[in-house]
Structure 1
Amino acid sequence: MSLLETLKDQNQLIIRQRKELAELIGFETRNKYEICDQNGQVIGFCAEQQKGFFGLLIRQFLGHWRSFELHFFDNQRQQVFTVKHPFKIFFQRLEVFSVRGQYIGALQQRFGIFRKKFDIETPQGRVIMKMESGFLQFWTFPIFKNSQEAAVIRKKWSGLFKEAFMDADNFLVEFGRAELSEEERSLILASAIFIDLQYFERKANS
């Protein structure tokens, strides 16, 4: 069963960042994640595309402003969709494509004071869901579709050592009662990874 088919049956997803020892000395390498079901069983993976030494330098100096690509795979290592982030300083944008290159939709940052706000759009630019952190609650991101809660993305506490010394971030995605297509669930999954890169990747904010 492919990752997209598996997503339809999940009420919760656990996203675990896979750490490399290089980050103990403060030198960032590319991001890798495991995607697990609510029982902790690995159902997929996500990895930032490697761009060589030049790409590593860009990552060090530009952080989350940089352009990057994320590739999502099922547990058989078959690619299922791709996410692209163009270089932007303000109002970040994430675009999602199928494995065949078909444009699925986008996550677009909007202006917000004391809140993080995003629109989730169709390929035609129509807003189908909205994601917004609570007032000064930057660890929880509810997502609404037609005024009904479609999902909630939460950053999970990793423990004192990991929080202090490593970017070992874990996220929980809880799907609500709103009916969601495979594409919409893909957009929500991509949004969870982007939240980590946007707000919790230490090099991006240092």
Structure 2
Amino acid sequence: MNSPGPVLSQHSHMLVKQRHELAEWFGFETRNKYEILAASGQSLGFAAEQGKGILGLMMRQILGHWRSFELHFYTPDRQEFMRASHPFRWYFQELIVQDGQGRGLGRVVKRFSILSKRFALYDALGNVIMEVSSPIWKIWTFPFMRQGKLAAVVKKKWTGLLREAFTDKDTFSIEIEDPTLSEDLRRLLLAAALYVDIMYFEKKANS
């Protein structure tokens, strides 16, 4: 049984918009906050990186996406429906995803690659259920393949030169190509979209 939260299987197209904070205009990395929307503009929820005091603030500036962090996902009425944790490690980084009741949904694992961006999605039993391999020249497109077929695509949207240069205010679309994807897998995809943003588009991560 799925935990309370938005029914993602009702939506074949979703948007994830990062919320802007003034400090980012000055190169100061702040906690990531996102709004999750249906294609119609309906709010499906929010996600926010949890603060860890002064130490967390320092690690965010110094370590970028290598830091440990947690993302919490909420419905529009502020009920938590999913949580994702990222332990600190230099290699084989991963995002561990659970529903709001602590039930494991799976993991998003970054694989080693030089000329492409590679991820694998694992279910709660440790089986690979999707893979991403996107060449470095397609910097904003992440195709999720399932058994050799396109299951979903995560794409970063252009937000304008000034915003791209000075802030982390990113917008991503999640396009579901396989209508048979389960609710758990769609939630794992949602977490993966935010992970893509943190891994590749945080200013500190790229510098």
User: Is this a same-fold pair by TM over 0.5?
Assistant: yes
2:62 paired with 1:61 = yes
What's the TM-score once normalised by structure 2's chain length?
0.94
Counterpart of 2:5 in structure 1: which amino acid? Answer: L
Deviations 1:62-97 (A, max 9, x none): 110000000001111110010000101112101101
SS at 2:10 equivalent: coil
Q: Which runs of 4+ in 1 moved over 4 A?
A: none
SS at 1:142 equivalent: strand
Counterpart of 1:61 in structure 2: which amino acid? Answer: I
Counterpart of 1:3 in structure 2: which amino acid? Answer: G
2:167 paired with 1:166 = yes
Maintained 8 Å contact 1:115/1:138: no
1:148 corresponding residue in structure 2: 149
Once the two structures are aligned, what percentage of the paired residues are identical? 48
2:28 corresponding residue in structure 1: 27
Matches within 5 A, 1:1-206: 2-5=4-7, 7-134=8-135, 136-206=137-207
Maintained 8 Å contact 1:149/1:176: yes
- The structure showing larger relative contact order (alpha-carbon pairs under 8 Å, at least 6 residues apart) is 2
- The answer for unaligned runs of 5 or more in structure 2 is none
Give distance in 2, aligned partners of 1:123 and 1:177.
Answer: 20
Maintained 8 Å contact 1:13/1:174: yes
Give distance in 2, aligned partners of 1:134 and 1:54.
Answer: 35
Shift of 1:133: 1.3
Shift of 1:178: 4.7
Give distance in 1, aligned partners of 2:129 and 2:35.
Answer: 27
Maintained 8 Å contact 1:148/1:178: no
Give distance in 1, aligned partners of 2:138 and 2:5.
Answer: 30
What's the TM-score once normalised by structure 1's chain length?
0.95
- The answer for unaligned runs of 5 or more in structure 1 is none
